[in-house]
Amino acid sequence: MNGIIPIVQIDTDITSALSTNDLEKIATQDYRQMSAYLIGKIPAQALLSTEELHIFHTEQQQAVTAQPVAAKKLVVVLKATRLCNLRCTYCHSWAEGPNQTKPNQTMRFDILARTIRKILAIPNIKHFEFVWHGGEVTLLNPLFFQKLLWLQQQFKQPEQHITNSMQSNAVNISDEWLAFIKGIGMHVGISLDGIPAVHDSRRVDYRGRGTAQRVAEGLKKLKQHSIPYGALIVVDRHVYQTDLREMFDYFGKIGLNDIEFLNIVPDNRIPAGGKIDENYITYA
């Protein structure tokens, strides 16, 4: 297992502290559950900073209530950070936020702890899926994600089942992140805008360079690490008018067979009555 779950810090100190019941529980869990379970067993003082320890203990002492919701499963989409290595022409998330002089913001630990606790306090939900967006999540240190998994394990109820997935542009996923994602068995959604001619016209880096080739290389790395992945395609008029045979031949060439399509959303900064770009599609 060396190199597969390095972030879990499996060593004799941790595993020897597990009871027989703990070990039996691990044996009945799938890979993702087992990884999260072991992360949850890391001592707080070995994972959190002094300030984070104080925040965690304070949160434990606070009352929390939540109302039931009319669902059996809850999918929660959370923005972990606005930090991003791309400057997509239709996205301004990286430049938004209450402090315009510091646009690249990451969720603080106190907000992370409070949010996870309140979500898992919903009394009638047994299955939770957390989908982590950015920005670009992989620009953060994997330790951020390890801590949120740890928090989930501290606040979950015994009967609750939690899964996590993340959305990435796959432009520059580090080896450290690849090992971590593999180790916890997490699914990765890839942001892609069709064929390179279209993709490279708007999914550009901060220097204005297209990223299609780097995305294809990122997909290759995910496949080499046996990490499950799929693609989310933003559809505007250019994608809509692309020859379908050309598009799906390209998807097959770069190893994509799990694809979802998402209609592009007009810029919410357009004033009331303002003109919406003709590339947006209406299905009315």
pLDDT in the model for residue 98: 56
Domain range for residue 24? Answer: 6-191
Task: Label residue 263 by pLDDT band (50, 70, 90).
Answer: confident
Same domain (yes/no): 159, 238: no
Same domain (yes/no): 184, 284: no
Same domain (yes/no): 227, 264: yes
Same domain (yes/no): 187, 252: no
Same domain (yes/no): 167, 210: no
Q: Residue 133: inside a domain, yes or no?
A: yes
Same domain (yes/no): 162, 172: yes
Chain segment 187-198, per-residue pLDDT in tens: 999 999 999 999
pLDDT in the model for residue 4: 46
Residue 150 Cα distances to 35, 244, 246, angstroms: 10, 44, 44
Q: Residue 254: inside a domain, yes or no?
A: yes
Average pLDDT over residues 160-187: 95
Chain segment 230-243, per-residue pLDDT in tens: 999 988 888 989 99
Q: Residue 1: inside a domain, yes or no?
A: no
Q: Residue 64: inside a domain, yes or no?
A: yes
Same domain (yes/no): 186, 199: no
pLDDT in the model for residue 1: 41
Chain segment 92-117, per-residue pLDDT in tens: 776 665 554 455 589 999 999 999 99
Chain segment 8-31, per-residue pLDDT in tens: 343 434 455 556 666 555 555 566
Tell me how many degrees the CA angle 148-152-157 measures, rounded to the nearest 5.
Answer: 175
Question: Is the separation of the CB atoms in 191 and 219 below 8 Å?
Answer: no
pLDDT in the model for residue 3: 46
pLDDT in the model for residue 25: 57
Q: Residue 232: inside a domain, yes or no?
A: yes
Q: Residue 207: inside a domain, yes or no?
A: yes
DSSP the chain: -TTTSGGG---HHHHTT--HHHHHHHHTS-HHHHHHHHHHTS-HHHHS-HHHHHHHHHHHHS-------S-SEEEEEEE-B---SB--TT--GGG-SS-TT----B--HHHHHHHHHHHHT-TT--EEEEEEESS-GGGS-HHHHHHHHHHHHHH--TT-EEEEEEEE--SS--HHHHHHHHHHT-EEEEEE-SSHHHHHHHSBBTTS-B-HHHHHHHHHHHHHTT--EEEEEEE-HHHHTS-HHHHHHHHHHTT---EEEEEPPPPTTSPTTPPPPTTS----
Same domain (yes/no): 160, 140: yes
pLDDT in the model for residue 9: 41
Percent of the chain predicted with pLDDT > 90: 68
Among the three residues 150, 166, 191, which one is the final residue of a domain in this structure?
A: 191
Among the three residues 191, 216, 241, which one is the final residue of a domain in this structure?
A: 191
Query: How far is Cα of residue 274 from the mean position of the Cα atoms in its chain?
Result: 33
pLDDT in the model for residue 91: 81
Q: What domain count does the chain have?
A: 2
Task: Label residue 282 by pLDDT band (50, 70, 90).
Answer: low
Same domain (yes/no): 174, 261: no
Q: Residue 149: inside a domain, yes or no?
A: yes
Among the three residues 163, 191, 219, which one is the final residue of a domain in this structure?
A: 191
Q: Which residues are CB-contacts of 282 (< 8 A; sequence separation ≥ 6)?
A: none
- Using CA atoms, how far apart are residues 188 and 118, in angstroms rounded to an integer? 25
Same domain (yes/no): 197, 176: no
- Using CA atoms, how far apart are residues 283 and 234, in angstroms rounded to an integer? 15
- Using CA atoms, how far apart are residues 84 and 95, in angstroms rounded to an integer? 10
Question: Does 216 score more than 50 pLDDT?
Answer: yes
Among 180-184, 214-218, 236-240, the minimum mean pLDDT is found in 236-240
DSSP β-bridge partners for residue 187: 165
Average pLDDT over residues 77-101: 79
Instruction: Return the exposure string of 13-42: e unless at least 16 CB atoms fall within 10 Å of the residue's CB, then b.
Output: eeeeeeeeeeeeebeeeeebbbbbbbbebb
Same domain (yes/no): 26, 78: yes
Among 56-65, 90-99, 160-169, 203-212, the minimum mean pLDDT is found in 90-99
Q: Is the pTM of this model over 0.75?
A: yes
Tokens 């989310």, located at residue = 232
Same domain (yes/no): 129, 74: yes
Token couple for 158:
């015994």
